[in-house]
Amino acid sequence: MTGTYSSLARRMPVSFFPIVMGLGGLGLAWRAATRTHAGLAPIGDALVLAAALLWILLTASYIAKWVIAPGVARSEAAHPLSGAFVPLVPASLLLLLPALVPWLGAAGGALFIALVAAQIATTAVFLARCLGGRLEPAAITPAWHLAVVAGLLFSSGAAAALGFKLTGWCFFGAGALAWLAIDSLVLHRLATQGPLAPPMRPLLAIELAAPAVVLITYTALADGEADALALGLFGWTLFVAVMLSALARWLCEAPFGAEYWAFTFPAAALSIAAWRMAQATAADPALRFALVLFVVANAVIGFVAVRTLLALGRGRFLPA
């Protein structure tokens, strides 16, 4: 058993943490729908708790990798692509923290501080490695949004849920500006360095998650108001969704693998953003539109989850 766990820990890549984000994001989408359809609350809670349990399992395996095979873990963290996923270790739990607050009680504040400290440290190390060396432009990928933008915005959302609004606004400003800065780098790379390799193309879906999370975090801090900025962010999010839909066949040219989980959190984030806008305006067409996007998000994430279970059953999901 020990040998089996050691082998699994070595093979478990840090890029598996988007699975937590996809599953947890779906749970948060169900919780967002609860404001309109109250009976959905238990499903959202169950998905969030399942994502939290998965985070514990993946984190334990990742820590074991550093103990069992530190050279492998160090090489993974130093790589410009896989290293971008290291900050997701704390950031993916920060995403879930607002939903977990009722169960955590007083421990929520302490956990928030620990996770924020870990997120800032891992993000700083990633950026120091990338900016301190001679990084090739082709090494810049949409995963940089995960390394920098995600953690800052998730920290803002968690701060808002815990009542630390001034702290939340600070993280929001940092996250929103980081999104604009990194987006310019990523779009320039995509326009000038040739297309992404097929296995990396699903990462482009993160372009949808970034504005959606900026919108979600902004409305959380602004007490749910659908003002001009919120509506503008929602418009851009929808435009990116249409653009990615037009690229769907190109994005999915690679055989199925863990990289397809990159589609899941953006789908969930779009659904949550739609619910926020619909509930703020209380307009029937907006509520119906939010319901359509909610169904689409469940279909996308459900499809990827089923394919993952089938691949696990055949021993084809974990890297060799």
pLDDT tens profile 65-97: 999 888 888 998 888 888 899 999 999 999 999
Cα–Cα distance for residue pair 255/240, rounded to 1 Å: 24
Residue 78 CB-density burial (10 A; 0-12 exposed, 13-18 middle, 19+ buried) = middle
Cα–Cα distance for residue pair 116/162, rounded to 1 Å: 13
Position 320 confidence tier, pLDDT thresholds 50, 70, 90:
low
More confident residue, 149 or 193: 149
> What domains are defined for the chain?
2-313 (1.50.10.150)
pLDDT tens-digit map of 1-27: 455 656 677 778 899 999 999 999 999
Instruction: Fill in the DSSP letter of residue 205.
Output: G
pLDDT confidence of residue 1: 44
- Count Cβ atoms below 10 Å from residue 13 Cβ, excluding itself: 18
pLDDT confidence of residue 57: 93
Tell the residue number behind the tokens 């962010």, with chain if given. Answer: 233
Position 132 confidence tier, pLDDT thresholds 50, 70, 90:
confident
**Lowest-pLDDT range, 166-175, 190-199, 225-234?**
190-199
Dihedrals φ, ψ of 216, to 5°? Answer: -60, -45
Contact 76, 82 (CB under 8 A): yes
Dihedrals φ, ψ of 181, to 5°? Answer: -65, -50
Please report, rounded to a whole number, the percentage of residues in the chain having pLDDT higher than 90. Answer: 66
